[in-house]
Chain A
């Protein structure tokens, strides 16, 4: 299994600012995923990040709002840009392990936008 860490674990931000969330994995992985979990709701996939290529965004999510970097096989960042209170959520990254057919999740970043 993969061990995943995220920074920051939580933050409180002002409207109109941006926050970059980091995701670090203890092993090299091809695919990383970013999810949003709004208060009291399930997980929604934001985008899939492959190393060396542009991230693939799901319907309803755009690169200008959620730019993603994937500079190497163990690291990714998600930026939440020009934040509004509606962006208050938990953001989770995950990685895929083809060998066992499952994803492993980070602990999440709890974002509150005032």
Chain B
């Protein structure tokens, strides 16, 4: 079975500060891991994904995440927050084979303070 835990349902950072959104996963098989962003009244947009290549994954809008197998983590970071980063962020896990049934975390709402 697979699961995802996102620590912190709400995170606030100042504009220009480091963004760190936490995601821990559980999987009995090698996983694929994803970060999605959802802006108000919109669908989900893929930020980045880990699919067994480099453990440090760079995505869109300056975001990156590092896959750490020993810690079963896939935390999302951005060096400098921008007001436009305010959104809901979801971590998801799936198996590498078979149907790509995604398991989503509960989400983290990022607030960026001026």
Chain A residues within 8 Å of B, Cβ to Cβ: 4, 31, 33, 41-45, 48, 92, 94, 96, 98, 101-108, 110
B32-72 CB contact bits vs A (8 Å, 1 = yes)?
10101000011111100101000000000000000000000
Most chain B CB neighbours (cut-off 10 Å) among A33, A43, A92, A94:
A43
21 contacts between A and B (CB under 8 A): A31-B99, A33-B101, A41-B106, A41-B107, A42-B90, A42-B104, A43-B90, A43-B102, A43-B104, A45-B102, A92-B44, A96-B99, A96-B100, A98-B100, A101-B96, A103-B100, A103-B102, A105-B36, A105-B44, A107-B43, A108-B42
Q: Which residues in B have their C-beta under 8 angstroms from that of A107?
A: 42-43
Main secondary structure of the interface of B (DSSP, over half): loop
Once A105-B43, A108-B42 are accepted as A-B contacts, the answer to whether A42 and B102 lie under 8 Å apart by CB is no
* Apart from the given pairs A45-B101, A104-B46, 9 other A-B contacts in the complex at a CB distance below 8 Å: A4-B43, A33-B102, A41-B106, A41-B107, A42-B106, A43-B104, A103-B102, A105-B44, A106-B43
* Interface residues in chain B, defined as those with a beta carbon under 8 Å from any beta carbon in chain A: 32, 34, 36, 41-46, 49, 51, 90, 96, 99-102, 104-107
Given contacts A105-B44, A110-B41, contact A48 B99 (CB under 8 A): yes
